[in-house]
Structure 1
Amino acid sequence: MLTILIVDDEEVIRKGLAKIINRSGAGFEVIGDVNNGLEALEFIKNRLPDVIITDIKMPGMDGIELIKQLETLHPSIKKIMISGFNEFNYVRDSMKLGALDYLLKPVDDVQLLTLLSKIEDSIKNENELRINDIRLKVKLNESLPFLKEQFIEELIKGKKFSRQDLASKLDYFNLQEETGNYYVIIVSINKYKVITREIGMEEARIKAYIIKNITEETIRISSSYVSYTDPLGLVIAISIPSGEEELIHKIVKGIGDNLQRYAAKIDCTIAIGSLSTDLLDLKSSYNHAVSALKRRFYRDKYAVIDYYAEAEFMHFNADFPAYLVDRFEDQLKNAFEISNAKQAESAIEDFCTILVKNNMDPGEVVNIFINAFIKIQSDISDFNRAVHELYGSDYFYINEIGIYDCLSDFKKYNLFIYSDVLKKMMSNRKRKEGKLVDIVKDYVTKHYNEDVTLSKIAEITYVNSSYICDLFKNQTGENFIEYLTKIRIEKAKLLLKDARFKTYEVGDKVGYSDATYFSRVFKKIVGISPTEYRNIVK
């Protein structure tokens, strides 16, 4: 059962959310509702929820600070923000601090329950994966290799060990400290997250295992090494004798050649960090390898990326000019407001070109696009509706956009998603506009004998009269007055066949109180006067 804590300073919202959740029949349980972040932290001391749903602005401790505290104290708790349309900046900050997702006020019942179901499935999957991993380790007697890899990761990432501790750990895991220098390299499968989604986690792990075997067998021929696997890929610290620094490039070339020969279908990037002279000082080499790997984002083709060879590009720009971001967001938003697909495409293409020129940090690029999406979603209701109609209420752009590790694929996805949504919005708007024209025609048919004006129609449709005028002309090919006159004259022609009505009475019955004006309009449309028409059809 998924347990939930609700945090909001408005009791009516807390009770309302609790009512929705508890009556859903989905097996969710609201275990408490509190007034602010301080009360939430106090509550959690006694009982830990699976999920916290929190408002942003609250007295005592707001939602942003609460999420920050939870990320430190209880990172396993899933965090959902609820916000109003005018709290966009706070939503962005909360997502950076660790909020899983957000919901806009007023909270939609279906979206809330769908998100909770998704979180429940995610937690179940995480637990199952954790249990399966443990069982696998026990079954294959992998406890020692696991601890060994954990130690290597700590060593490479810069955990502080004394010389004595290092010697003890090396002896325990049957490792030797080589004399000379070290390089940290990262061998990363390109599009690994995309591959995982397409073929499944198990098959993706098999590919990673193949890469690990080929790489380590290649290194083993000419050098000593230690390695571990993390989300970036296979991380390896390679021992290189002093004065033979060029050996690292020969080893990396050998790895690349063997990967091409034995695993050509698994595309990889190899990032080389800087030289380190001490096994206890591998962190800088590792960090430089990570920076080198980030350059993959701006590569059209994947290859070997050497930190030293591309040192001038290794300092990514995190302080991107705000006006450029604002302009991009405004151009993209405006494209959806005016249904201009070319403008949306140009906004994305041009902005990506600017990103490359400014060497923007890839992580910040993702954040900029997420913020732009959230802003459009918040400001344009038609956009949000189109997204849900196309991809379902469980679609979250935030989860989709982070799987791409190169700009070309990242841009391609954004061009696709925005184009797809805009087409849907235009289709929805066209259908809506068609209905509006039908409403106008129906009103004219029923009220042609009255003082019919666009202003009156605007009042009943809640649409601007100028917009109705332009829309009617575009949809029917004739303006509103022409259509109204046509309907009135057609009705007049029917009434003129009835001898009981005098000509001026016919005019009055179809909306013309001035008989002279009626005769003039009738003759203009029909070509003859009402009296002449009556004599002909009598």
Structure 2
Amino acid sequence: MEVICYMNRVKAVICEDEARIRRGIVRLIDGFDGWEVVGAFPDGEPLLEEIEDKKIEFDVLITDIKMPNMGGIELIKKLNHTHSILSVIISGFEDFEIVQEALREGAIDYILKPIDRKMLEKQFRIVREKVIDKIELDRHLVEVHSEAKELTYTKQVQLLSEMVLKNDIDLSNMEWTRKFPAGKYMLINTSLDNLSYKKNIFSDKDWETWIFAIENIIDETLESFSKREENNVWWWRGEKSSYWFLLHFDEEDINYEDQSKGVVKHVKKNIQTYTPLTFSFALEDYFNDLSVLPAMRDKILSLMQLRMIHGGNRVYYPAFLSEIHKESKGKTSQKIYLEIQKLVLSIEKLDVQDVERKFPDFFSELKKLESPEAVETTIRFYLFRVIKYLFKDDNRGYEYLYPIFIRIKNISDFEQLKFEVITWTKNVINEKMSVDSSLNHIDKAKYWIQQNVSESITISKIADIIYMNPTYFCEVFKKQTGETVLDYVTRIRIEKAKDLLHQSNLKIHEISEEVGFKDTKYFSKLFKQYTGELPSKYRNIQL
């Protein structure tokens, strides 16, 4: 409950079961300068009901200790759990032990019966000063908290922006991701359609005005979503009139996908309503580990490339590919459909030699098609079919479709088309084989990390070495080892540092570099987090 103080008047409520005494206290306090009684109750229970119904706001509770249903001590305890209020108790001399208990619960003063008017007025001048001091302190704390929150948010956005802009970030520079809340994350990209054309038709001043308006729309829409759903949201500028949103959801939240699409819908609608510009959006599935953000960025940017084929002012997400698949299937002839099925059955068995034997018949039928558009539609259907059979219905492998879509769109030579399709098919078969043998690959990844602790270690680099998709690699690694890739790499580096501190005469900065940390101060800080001691002190203890 907010502390209210209008024109320095302190608002009080009275709880006293004896009506005559209650009325007397009300008259006395209402007569004091700077005081106003906003409610009087015979018991604690009706006061709590008023508070729960938000029918009353006050600064000070003045309560008797002994009342029929809920006494003063119990009332103060209940209020302390949920509210920030000051309390004054009314008591007789025989209740002094209970008075002491009330004071321990936070009561700031007590009134002895029978009540003396002059003594009471003097007491309440002191109480009022305490209330005013508390109000000022609360206001200051709110301001400090607000400033700290803003500073934290600004720093978080800066780190997220750098992470998305950079291609390879060593895992030692991702420790900050641990300070983000646990749960599900959705990354969304939005990019202005027809950027070059739009910039040419507006003056520089008009362009700045529209960009300013768009950023206000994004900020207000995301802030509204954050308040309504009580979820964390971050957004920042990307490259070439694009923006990134990162939405956070609780782990048990099952509506994250609908809420994410709702955010996109509202931002898209508001931009179209208030500006002459259109934006396309791309989003992938959720992820739990922020260290995979660069990999999710790559998948989303690949997905956004579909705009070159299907146009702007759209929302692109993995399920959109399934819609294209259905459309392509409807335009594929029965004869070539059978050739595709033969190919796909061999691909599903991961039989590369049999696939190579069946490709000539497929391309022979493909060459008979009437137009380049029909060829492109059929190839697209084939590509979808391969992914659907190899990776079933879990959307895995769809990122392999985006680049090949763009390549076949720009190919005019049939032999080049054959080469691209055959090469792509072999690549996705290798990806599937790597997924199926992921246990051995995780062991291989762990061994490579152990042998390269002094080098730059990134998620993408490890995934490339073991021929796995970066996002899927992180998922499998966590499932099989019980810790994230970041946790594992940091632990191995700290363990290696401990060995070097114990077994070598290397200086601290040399050990820092040996275990992959370029910043010695950062290494020392992290080492202390893991071991409880700074490296220098740890070495002395081991001697």
Task: State the TM-score, normalized to the length of structure 2.
Answer: 0.30
Task: State the TM-score, normalized to the length of structure 1.
Answer: 0.30
